[in-house]
Amino acid sequence: MAALDAGGDFAELFVEDKHNSHLNMISGRVETGTSGRDFGAGIRIFGGYNSVYAYTNHTDRDNLVKLAREAGAALAGAKGGKVQDLQVHSKANAHPISIYPESKDKRFRVGLMRQANETAMGFDPLIEQVRIRFIDENQKVLIANTEGVFAQDNRVRTRMSIEAIAARGSEKQSGFYGPGAHMGLEFYDKIDIREYAREAARSAVTMINAEPCPSGQFPVIIDNEFGGVIFHEACGHSLEATSVAKKTSVFADKLGERIASELVTAYDDGTIANAWGSANIDDEGTPTQRTLLIDKGILKGYMVDKLNGRRMDMPSTGSGRRQSYKFAPTSRMSNTFIDGGASTPQEIIENTEYGIYARYMGGGSVNPATGDFNFAVKEGYIVKDGKIQEPVRGATLIGRGSEILKKIDMVGNNLALGQGMCGSASGSIPANVGQPMIRVSEITVGGRKGK
Amino acid sequence: MMELAKFRDLVFARGRQAGFTDMEIFHQSSTNLSVTVYKGTVDKYNLADSGGYGFRGIFRDRVGYAYTEILDHDSVEMLVTEALENAQVIESEDLPIIFSGSDSYPEFDGYNPDLAQVTPEEKIELAKTMEAKAYALDSRVMVVNSCLVASGEDYVQIENNKGLNLSHRGNGAYCYLSVVVREGDDTKTFGRFATARDFADLDANGLAREAVAEATGLLGAATVDSGDYPVILRWEAATTLLKTFSGLFSAENVQENISLLKGKLGQQIATPAITIVDDPLLPQGLSSSPFDAEGVASRSKVVVDQGKLSTYLHNLKTAAKDGVESTGNAAKGSYKSNVVVAPTNMYIKPGSASLDDMAASLERGIIVVDLQGAHSGANPVSGDFSLGAFGYLVEKGKIVRPVNQITIAGNFISMLLDVEKVGNDLNFGLPTGSMIGSPSLLIKKLAVAGK
């Protein structure tokens, strides 16, 4: 390959051809619709721990060879590498698709959006507006490298997000639900989108009636499914080789050590059939796998990509992901969750004298170097004497991942996954978060109401 | 790949056949080179060369969009059929407009030919200097976890069958440095960036000094007691809030009834010390341009004039609906996007107070350096925010210690009426298409949650 002529010991070609479709409906009317085709290629070359990445959508052979030489020249002086013969890797498709997006016209999608809209609008007179977004995509990737990998994957995904806005006077609160899967349009036969619409509307109406959240340090119960965003932010990012390799993560060099309460077992699993964050192979051509991250509180593994794996002297865990050919891949999460425990949700609530119950979480962020995280509670309640009391709004949870993990003192038995888009160094990618209901003995809760 | 002119002719001919009356192609291409240095070697070297073509067409008063990144015969057919299908499901009652052009356009030169001559070696050198400086400044600098120098060029061309043909070329350079400092078990991190159109204006040493000073200054940070405090939002934090809530000024949001500024034109929405400007021709703006995404001539405008709301931001559609002129705020995130309304370069005009003056006036208060999690902890509709924050505690006019693990909560609209002093230190946040900027602001009081 031209890429290794000047320098470098490994080269990789990533080619992507992707079809996207987006529709937006506001209060029952389709306001915008877009579709399109992304097409381009990325060339990556390693020289030891260093890497060069070049991408283009001028993908004719001459331009790619020119780009490869230019990119390789940046590693001039690095020791050369051998080129292995390409071996076609064909892994059985673990994520079968039955209704490809292109087989249905836009009216089919609009029909589903209308169902969701009518359900949410009809839920309560306080619902003033419903915003629905329908996306589907069909991404074909081809990955070839000088180690002989020649792999292809076809990722079909769809998601419908429903935002219901409740209003009273000038005050507005929103409720959100956004189910999605690595699936074709058969996804909507498997779920009843109206249930999600109703839930988004219920949440918005609940929150318009909520008082400001008190602030201070409390026990916090975080419900299952998207509640797993706490683990994703507070811990998951710090277990990505992206921050572990350069030892900027609080969890670097901690394999085999206790980093969490013994109730915590956690996985990253890119193999779950048709799950939002799944794929057959990662964006470096490595088959995805189920990686044990934490076993009963003991750190067992990281999410590793090829380049950072070199620095860490660890094999890839099939975690090299990227938004598109416009990004060099790096280690990312796929479907990442705290595994189910022994307590029933009812037991957890009943055992809490005073605290906050976060039924739905919003998003959040973390600084992987310090572990400081923050995230928003979208629907929260006061818990008093073992009972869920009045709803509270505007709560933000802050803390340090390494401390929170040790303070998880109850883990429920109702594991579920929720869908999100995770933004980081290699772009915005679909990722599932997940957990059963958990209780953290103490988190700093920020709200607008004083103590 | 075929030439754009030929492609345009084929698309417009095929589009006319399909029943489109008005049609437009929005072309955008960019090249970028970025180098990342890690411990004295070039760790990452990225080259980008890409672009795409967004098509929109009006069919029976409805607009349909589609895009491609590849100019071939398949794409001609795909653009037209997909855009048609999208147009046919649109139910918006707003009449779409494809624009024939403004009477005249301002001069704006956003391209510095000297910058294009800067070699990769010079960028690598600058990055190495910046990294070395950071390590040399303080022995507590454990690692420089990000050290990047980049430059890029952008080209935009809008061509339609109403006679519009506009193009604009711009370039810019930027650098970013983030350091992790450690003292005992305490780890802190801080990042700084700079943008410029003249390579010599990138002050690597200054950036390293600021990042290291801030990160080490934050060592030993602890929380504070919960309560209401006077708060100085340093320019970074003030910019984060203005950016988060800039959508309140969008006429699109006002018309959809999701802006609290609805019905407030001409009213006092902020203290008289606050003047907010939107200037698409800001000289240092990396996305400054003589025309907006619909081809409307750019002009600077005062959005809030000494506290009074003087205009919303409009594109052609929202302006027609309100019976006013477009303010030239049509925006497209990229060729993939639909036309929306967005600020261009929006900033709060600086006042006269220095940061020290503001601190000196406080008996007890907090300087907030920056806010975290604005994408989740702030509600752009209600104006409510509750965000993770860090900074310094001020007592008797002097900084006494660093503060972290707190949240700051309030409402953006009521906060604008509580601004007591406006600083003289206007700066702009990380450019993301728009550049948003603010000086430091002294706020009478905000709710702080700590312990």
B140-193 tens-digit pLDDT: 999 999 999 999 999 999 999 999 999 999 999 999 999 999 999 899 999 999
Q: Is residue B241 part of a domain?
A: yes
Q: Are the beta carbons of A30 and B90 separated by less than 8 Å? A: yes
Domain boundary residue among B178, B199, B217? B217
Q: Is residue B81 part of a domain?
A: no
Q: How many domains does chain B have?
A: 2
Residue B338 near residue B94, CB atoms below 8 Å: no
Nearest to B449 among A59, A215, A373 (CB): A215
* CA distance, residue B47 to nearest chain A CA (Å): 4
What domains can you pick out in chain A, each with its CATH number? 3-209 (3.30.2290.10), 212-446 (no CATH)
Query: What is the pTM for the complete model shown?
Result: 0.92
B-chain CB neighbours of A59 within 8 Å are 70
Q: Are the beta carbons of A39 and B120 separated by less than 8 Å? A: no
| Residues paired with B62 in a beta bridge | B59
Instruction: Give the nearest chain A residue to B374 (CA atoms).
Output: A364
Nearest to B1 among A35, A58, A451 (CB): A58
Residues B200 and B289 grouped into a single domain: no
d(CA A215, CA A449): 6
The model's confidence at residue A248, banded by pLDDT at 50, 70 and 90, is: confident
> Average pLDDT of chain B?
94
Q: Are the beta carbons of A398 and B89 separated by less than 8 Å? A: no
Residues B295 and B211 grouped into a single domain: no
Residues B212 and B231 grouped into a single domain: no
Instruction: Give the nearest chain A residue to B451 (CA atoms).
Output: A216
Residues B268 and B126 grouped into a single domain: no
Q: Is residue B377 part of a domain?
A: yes
Beta strand spans in A226-347 (E): 266-269, 290-295, 298-299, 320-321, 330-331, 335-338
For residues A1 and B170, the model is more confident at B170
pLDDT at A155: 97
Nearest to B381 among A28, A174, A250 (CB): A174
Average pLDDT over residues A421-445: 95
| pLDDT tens digits, A164-192 | 999 998 788 889 999 999 999 999 999 99
Q: How far is CA B177 from CA A353, B33, B37, B180, B207, in A?
A: 46, 17, 10, 10, 7
pLDDT at A255: 97
Residues B287 and B396 grouped into a single domain: yes
d(CA A51, CA A148): 19
Residues B134 and B264 grouped into a single domain: no
Residue B404 clears pLDDT 60, i.e. is over it: yes
pLDDT at B339: 93
B-chain CB neighbours of A398 within 8 Å are 388, 405-407
Among A61-75, A434-448, B135-149, which stretch is predicted with the lowest mean pLDDT? A61-75
| pLDDT tens digits, B311-323 | 999 999 999 999 9
Residues B182 and B235 grouped into a single domain: no
Mutate to test the interface with A, among B33, B224, B376, B448 (most CBs of A within 10 A): B376
* CA distance, residue A442 to nearest chain B CA (Å): 11
Average pLDDT over residues B93-116: 93
Residue A361 clears pLDDT 70, i.e. is over it: yes
* CA distance, residue B40 to nearest chain A CA (Å): 11
Instruction: Give the nearest chain A residue to B260 (CA atoms).
Output: A170
The model's confidence at residue A79, banded by pLDDT at 50, 70 and 90, is: low
pLDDT > 70: percent of chain A? 96
Instruction: Give the nearest chain A residue to B30 (CA atoms).
Output: A56
Residues 386-405 of A with CB under 8 A from B: 393-396, 398-400
Instruction: Give the nearest chain A residue to B70 (CA atoms).
Output: A39
Q: Are the beta carbons of B407 and A448 separated by less than 8 Å? A: no
A-chain CB neighbours of B90 within 8 Å are 30-33
Average pLDDT over residues B356-375: 93
Q: Is residue B85 part of a domain?
A: no
Q: Please give the backbone phi and psi of residue B280, each rounded to the nearest 5 degrees, phi first.
A: -70, -10
| pLDDT tens digits, A223-247 | 999 999 989 988 999 999 998 998 8
Residues B176 and B142 grouped into a single domain: yes
Q: Are the beta carbons of B227 and A247 separated by less than 8 Å? A: no
The model's confidence at residue A404, banded by pLDDT at 50, 70 and 90, is: very high
CB distance from A425 to chain B under 8 Å? no
DSSP assignment letter at B295? S
The model's confidence at residue A259, banded by pLDDT at 50, 70 and 90, is: very high
Residue A368 clears pLDDT 80, i.e. is over it: no
A-chain CB neighbours of B336 within 8 Å are 20, 34, 36
Residues B397 and B258 grouped into a single domain: yes
Q: Is residue B245 part of a domain?
A: yes
Q: Are the beta carbons of B70 and A57 separated by less than 8 Å? A: yes
Q: Which value, to the nearest 10 degrees, does the dihedral of the CA atoms of residues A87, A91, A97, A98 take?
A: 100
Average pLDDT over residues B22-39: 95
Average pLDDT over residues A38-54: 93
Q: Amino acid letter at A227?
A: G
Q: Is residue B287 part of a domain?
A: yes
Nearest to B180 among A369, A399, A446 (CB): A369
Average pLDDT over residues B328-333: 94
* CA distance, residue A241 to nearest chain B CA (Å): 13
Quickly count: other Cβ atoms within 10 Å of residue A171's Cβ. 12
B267 token code pair: 């009213």
pLDDT > 90: percent of chain A? 76
* CA distance, residue A138 to nearest chain B CA (Å): 14
Instruction: Give the nearest chain B residue to A113 (CA atoms).
Output: B89
Beta carbons within 8 Å of B185's beta carbon, 6+ residues apart: none
Q: Are the beta carbons of B409 and A446 separated by less than 8 Å? A: yes
CB distance from A62 to chain B under 8 Å? no
pLDDT at A17: 95
Q: Is residue B21 part of a domain?
A: no
pLDDT at A69: 78
Could you tell me the maximum CA-CA distance found in chain B, to the nearest angstrom?
75
Q: Are the beta carbons of A248 and B65 separated by less than 8 Å? A: no
Q: Are the beta carbons of A30 and B92 separated by less than 8 Å? A: yes
CB distance from A287 to chain B under 8 Å? no
Residues B190 and B263 grouped into a single domain: no
pLDDT at B202: 95
The model's confidence at residue A364, banded by pLDDT at 50, 70 and 90, is: confident
Mutate to test the interface with A, among B39, B334, B372, B414 (most CBs of A within 10 A): B372
Residues B201 and B340 grouped into a single domain: no
Q: Are the beta carbons of B451 and A444 separated by less than 8 Å? A: yes
Instruction: Give the nearest chain A residue to B78 (CA atoms).
Output: A36
* CA distance, residue B106 to nearest chain A CA (Å): 31
Residue A1 clears pLDDT 60, i.e. is over it: no
Range of the domain at B388: 227-449
| Residues paired with A435 in a beta bridge | A416
In total, the C-beta contacts within 8 angstroms joining chain A to chain B are: 249
Q: Quick one: A257 exposed, middle or buried, by C-beta within 10 A (0-12, 13-18, 19+)?
A: exposed
Instruction: Give the nearest chain B residue to A108 (CA atoms).
Output: B89
Q: Are the beta carbons of A398 and B388 separated by less than 8 Å? A: yes
d(CA B105, CA B291): 7
A-chain CB neighbours of B41 within 8 Å are 49-50
Can you say how many angstroms the Cα of residue B324 is from the centroid of all Cα atoms in its chain?
Answer: 26
**Cα three-residue angle B171-B295-B195, rounded to 5 degrees:** 20
A448 token code pair: 């607008």
Domain harbouring B128, CATH code = 3.30.2290.10
Residues B235 and B177 grouped into a single domain: no
The model's confidence at residue A77, banded by pLDDT at 50, 70 and 90, is: low
Q: Is residue B99 part of a domain?
A: no
Beta carbons within 8 Å of B279's beta carbon, 6+ residues apart: B285, B300, B301, B344, B345, B346, B347
Element (H, E) at A211: strand A211-212
Average pLDDT over residues A299-328: 97
Instruction: Give the nearest chain A residue to B90 (CA atoms).
Output: A30
Q: Are the beta carbons of B382 and A171 separated by less than 8 Å? A: yes
pLDDT at A284: 98
Q: Are the beta carbons of B49 and A372 separated by less than 8 Å? A: no
